[in-house]
Amino acid sequence: MKVLNAEQKAFYEDQGYLLLEQFVSNEWLDRLNQAVDHFIDLSRQTDDSTAAILVEPGHTRANPRLRRIPHTVIHHPVFEEFGLRGPLLDLAEDLLGADVCFHHSKLNFKWSQGGEEVKWHQDIQFWPHTNYSPMTIGAYLNDVTPEMAPMGVIPGSHKQPLFNLADEQGQWTGALNDHDLTRVNLDSVVWLQGPAGSVTVHSCRMVHGSAPNKSFEMRPLLLHTYTAADAHPTTNLMEGIPFSGQVVRGHACENPRHDAEPCPMPPDFRGNYSSIFAVQQGDA
Ligand SMILES: O=C(O)CCC(=O)C(=O)O
């Protein structure tokens, strides 16, 4: 084990999540926040979303409102180094084993005074794989208090069956519908908050979400998804996206391992997927 103890690993396996306070060093936080400032400056030159910057409705050059930087690792060398060679990889290796692949990364801003809700969902139905090893590590780049819409997880929900993320007519929404929500113990939610540099980990099967950010501070959460190398994607969502599938620890695994439980499939996004915010809010 590189950074976790056996108890933390057992907790992750049993509960489906971890919160590690101040895991990312101040030196890394400074470098990452400088990169973030660069994108905020760039957003002052555009009225609309670009490949590197997705803006919220209400964004203006004078009052930027950033929703997300998708695929951070392809847009800035500091993000690339952090996601592909940085401190999260020891954590990924402890949880996934010696052979680890990078899948994708994104920075969810949740801008102050209105940054959008992320409705309850599980991740793996967005990007199915042959097994359920994929997990996402989030790093808070600012101090995050309860008012700033931290991410919430439902402990143990990774052991529940997978939901269809569709409305009651069967139309994909990217979120659990009201009927399915009655099967989830929402009273047990744990809000994962902490000082800058705190890190969240959640299983790809974990039911999770977050409220709108009504506070006066933005809540940048830098998310990276890693998989055991024997988990192969079963859609073409990431085809042609640089670094997706790259081995970041150990070796590639040519023969995928298959878990028995079938995974509900997402719509065929055909390169049009932009963000969970857009999917859930119905504006893409
Ligand atoms: O940003 C958040 O609070 C949650 C993000 C999330 O669940 C996702 O992007 O899948």
In the DSSP assignment, the letter for residue 194 is B
What pLDDT, on a 0 to 100 scale, did the predictor assign at position 284?
46
Return the CATH fold of 6-229+238-256: Jelly Rolls (2.60.120)
Q: Which residues are registered as beta bridge partners of 172?
A: 166
Ligand 1 atom at minimal distance to the Cα of residue 275: 9
User: Ligand 1, residues 202, 208, 215, 225: which to mutate, most atoms within 8 A of Cβ?
Assistant: 208
Which tokens sit at 35? 């990169």
Q: Is 123 in the pocket of ligand 1 (CB under 6 A)?
A: yes
State pLDDT tens for residues 66-124.
999 999 999 999 999 999 999 999 999 999 999 999 999 999 999 999 999 999 999 99
**Cα–Cα distances in Å, from 91 out to 3, 48, 101, 228, 233?**
6, 36, 13, 12, 22
User: Ligand 1, residues 66, 107, 210, 219: which to mutate, most atoms within 8 A of Cβ?
Assistant: 210
Query: Is 250 in contact with 123 (CB distance < 8 Å)?
Result: no
Q: How far is the CA of 27 from the centre of ligand 1 (A)?
A: 25
Q: Is 151 in the pocket of ligand 1 (CB under 6 A)?
A: yes
State pLDDT tens for residues 128-150.
999 999 999 999 999 999 999 99
pLDDT tens digits, the chain, 284 residues: what are they? 999 999 999 999 999 999 999 999 999 999 999 999 999 999 999 999 999 999 999 999 999 999 999 999 999 999 999 999 999 999 999 999 999 999 999 999 999 999 999 999 999 999 999 999 999 999 999 999 999 999 999 999 999 999 999 999 999 999 999 999 999 999 999 999 999 999 999 999 999 999 999 999 999 999 999 999 999 999 999 999 999 999 999 999 999 999 999 999 998 876 677 677 777 876 64
Ligand 1 atom at minimal distance to the Cα of residue 221: 1
Between helix 26-43 and helix 77-85 the angle, nearest 10°, is 140
Q: Is 108 in the pocket of ligand 1 (CB under 6 A)?
A: yes
pTM: 0.96
What pLDDT, on a 0 to 100 scale, did the predictor assign at position 141?
98
CA–CA gap between residue 279 and residue 119 (Å, rounded): 11
User: Ligand 1, residues 109, 118, 274: which to mutate, most atoms within 8 A of Cβ?
Assistant: 118
| Coil, strand or helix at 166 | strand
46-62 burial code (b ≥16 CB/10 A, e <16): eeebeebbbbbeebeee
